[in-house]
A and B are shown apart, each in its own frame.
Chain A
Amino acid sequence: MRSITVKACSISLATTLILSAGCGPRRENITLVGSTAFQPFAEKLAEQYMAAHPEVSITIQGGGSALGIQSALSGAAQVGMADLVALPKEAAALKSLVVARDGIVVVLNPANAVQALTLEQVRGIFGGTVKNWKEVGGADHAIAVISREAGSGTRSSFEQIIGGIALTADALIQDSNGTIRETVANDAHAIGYLSHGLVNEKIKPVTVDGYACVEQDIKSGQYKLVRPVFLVYKHDVSPACSAFLEYLLSAEAQELLHTNGLIKAK
């Protein structure tokens, strides 16, 4: 009995020593938390930045826009990422910058014949008044509406832009852009929406009111489904953190965002 206790103690002591030794010289740690839509882009940028600046270590976490703002307020993270049409009131205590703009794309399964929808039709489908694909020029089959969970930044932006709908009670709910993509890719009669940068060949974007989610139509304001990506942070962030924020707005970082499907901040 005794020897087991001694062994257990020495093992845990050894583990503690190894763990603390592993940290080595202190590296400045920056944490970004929030939007799952911006998360993959932030990860790419952080990787690039860390390669050039080995003295900082940047952690990117998802969790949603609301969590991003909350974490920045509470100090759990230096920077919150939020992709909303407008920041909520509680974010007024924080500084914010727009790092990019992100188009929201309405997507269908590639097997679906429908290529274009009007904003009115999109509103009808997600509001539950349009229930069959034949009403919008497709096959005679019920529409499977797929949406994000309540509180998601993408969902609240989407609903605000298409104009104050109450999402149909029949909608399937998925909790990330990735699972929306998989569900639409798997169901020939599904319709969903997701961040423009995450569209791939397994799903098909449709035009809304005749405009596709491409840069020129976004910049001219003709493609309506666009929201800014905010970074929120406290007024007294560390110098390393503000250097990283500066990097995010640099030409190099903006170019990287652009090639990955986001719209530049300016």
Chain B
Amino acid sequence: MRLNGETVAKGVLTVVAFSALASLLLIAVFIFKEGFPFMLKVGVGDFLFASTWNPQVGQYGIYPMIVSSLYVTFGAMLIGAPLGIAGAIFMNEFLPRPLMRVIKPTIELLAGIPSVVFGFLGVMVLAPFIRTHLGGPGLSVLAASVILGVMVLPTVISISSDAIGAVPNSYREGALALGATRWQSVHMVTLKAARSGIIASVILAMGRALGETMAVIMVAGNTVRIPHAVTDPVRTLTANIALEMSNATGMAREALFATGVVLFVVIMILNAIALSAMKGRGGKR
């Protein structure tokens, strides 16, 4: 009887595991099927590297959006990664345990705040601040980067913190016994040992930043143009799809699916780079 239960459980779990994989595959196939023929029709080069987007008159250049997506994502990482990693180090190495047990779940709660709330804060507080102090329309690369940087904090902090927490205490003790200061033991021993986990946290955060849509639409300004300053407004790939999906028909709709294909590929490339970076360094450990 028990054996039977095991078999059933195994079967059910296998099906569930494969359904996740299958849905991923289905999504990929669907997006490519809808978007790829369009790219061939327009010309892959024209689609990727022309800078005029005006689907009503048949101009489908998404180059500014690719650039903008990358700018905003890296901007978010510039803000979110150092803050998040520093926060994780502080929590694990310098904060008394009981306090950490309160603070960590609190930070993880941040992940549960809907992105539209972040966007709203950005529109109401951050954008006017940028407009009065730095100029430009306020809705900008900078606003989007800051908002996304804060949004990815829980991802960076909780995964980095788990990685740092998993470093055996004997490592720290060894470093301290050799006469290292607290900080030396942290950055020369603990961080080195936890490196792959920390890189993983940044990769996941990057995926989140690149894919975020709602908050970005609200604070980025959505102008299709290559930004020349951090106060310039931009439109990201995700924002383009979400903004125009409801009104798009025919070729314009296919163009949005093709935008999805590009987004898919960009994410794959980023992940591949990050993974290989992780492998290259992790090997030395």
Contacts and interface: CB of A to CB of B under 8 A. Distances in A.
Given A1-B5, A169-B224, A173-B221, A67 B128 contact: no
Given A144-B137, A174-B222, A186-B128, 6 more contacts: A66-B246, A150-B53, A172-B137, A173-B223, A173-B235, A186-B123
Given A150-B56, A183-B139, A172 B247 contact: no
Interface of A: 1-2, 62-67, 70, 144, 149-152, 156, 166, 169-175, 179, 182-183, 186-187, 190
Given A173-B235, A183-B139, A186-B128, A151 B223 contact: no
Contacts of B221: 172-173
B128 A151 contact: no
Nearest to A66: B247
Contact of B56 (A1, A144, A151, A190): A151
A149 B247 contact: yes
Contact of A70 (B8, B56, B224, B249): B249
17 contacts: A2-B5, A2-B8, A66-B249, A70-B249, A149-B244, A149-B247, A150-B53, A150-B54, A172-B221, A172-B223, A172-B233, A173-B221, A173-B235, A173-B243, A175-B217, A186-B138, A187-B138
B252 interface: yes
A153 to B, nearest CB: 8
Interface residues of B, number: 33
B127 interface: yes
Given A170-B225, A172-B223, A150 B55 contact: yes
Contacts of A144: 137
Contacts of B128: 186-187
A220 B277 CA distance: 69
A63 B52 CA distance: 25
Interface string B42-73: 00000000001111100000000000000000
Nearest to B248: A151
Nearest to B9: A1
Contacts of A151: 55-56, 244, 246-249, 252
